[in-house]
Amino acid sequence: MNSHRMPSRPRVPRHGVTLIEVLVTMVLLGVGLLGLAGLQARGLQVNQGSTYRAQAANLAVDLADRLRVDPATTMKGTYSGAYTPTAAANNAVLPLVQDWMLQLGTLPGGSATVAVAAPTVTVTVSWDDTRASNGAQPGAGPSIGNFVLTTEISN
C-alpha cells in the first residue's frame, strides 16, 4: 500500500494574538455600554422634566378654569398673588383654590403666581427642575422651571 502523506507544514507559534484581540473587543464593548448607560440616564432625566412641564400646564389651565367660575371676584384682583402648598395647608386661601394649591404640592418646590390686568389673567406655575435639567452635572446650581399661561376672562 502506498500511502500518500501530505507534507506537514511547519507550526507557527502563536504568542497571544487572539488574547489581544479579545481584550480590545472587551474595551470597545465596555465603552459602548457605558455610553448607552449614560444615554439611558439622560433620557430618564428629560422624561422627568417633560412630566413636570405637563403637570404644570395642567395645573395652570385648571386654575384659569377655576378663576373663570367667579369672573367678578377675579377681575377685582382677589385671586392675584403668590400661591404655595403650605398656604393651602394653613387654610390661608380662598376655598375656590384651596384644593388646587394642595395639588400644586405634587410638583417639587411647586408655587404659582396670578396677575390680573382686566380682562387678562396670567398664571405662572414654577417648580424646582434641578433634577431633570442638570442631574448629570452635580453642582451646576438650581434650575427653576416655569409655565406661563395668559388668558382673558370675560364677565
Say how far apart CA 24 and CA 53 lie, in whole Å: 44
Q: What is the pLDDT of residue 139?
A: 58
Q: Give Cα separations from 84 to 55, 87, 102 (angstroms).
A: 15, 6, 8
**Could you tell me which of 4, 110, 12, 130 has the C-alpha nearest to residue 55?**
110
Distance of CA 142 to the CA centre of its chain: 14
Say how far apart CA 77 and CA 43 lie, in whole Å: 42
Half-sphere exposure (CA, 13 Å, Cβ side) for 77? Answer: 5
Q: How many domains does the structure of the chain reveal?
A: 1
Tell me which residue range forms the domain holding 29.
17-152
Q: Would 11 be classed as within a structural domain?
A: no
Q: Would 10 be classed as within a structural domain?
A: no
Q: What is the pLDDT of residue 138?
A: 56
Q: What is the pLDDT of residue 49?
A: 84
Q: Note the pLDDT tens digit of each residue in 16-54.
A: 668 888 899 999 999 999 999 999 988 888 888 888 999
Q: Would 6 be classed as within a structural domain?
A: no
Q: Are 144 and 128 in contact (CB under 8 A)?
A: yes
| Average pLDDT estimate for 130-143 | 63
Q: Would 137 be classed as within a structural domain?
A: yes
Say how far apart CA 111 and CA 51 lie, in whole Å: 16
Q: Note the pLDDT tens digit of each residue in 69-122.
A: 888 888 888 888 888 888 755 555 577 788 888 889 889 989 999 999 888 999
Q: What is the pLDDT of residue 86?
A: 81
Q: Would 4 be classed as within a structural domain?
A: no
- Give the model's confidence band at 136: pLDDT under 50 very low, under 70 low, under 90 confident, else very high: very low
Strand partners, 125: 112, 147
Q: Would 90 be classed as within a structural domain?
A: yes
Q: What is the pLDDT of residue 144?
A: 82
Say how far apart CA 124 and CA 68 lie, in whole Å: 16
Half-sphere exposure (CA, 13 Å, Cβ side) for 95? Answer: 1
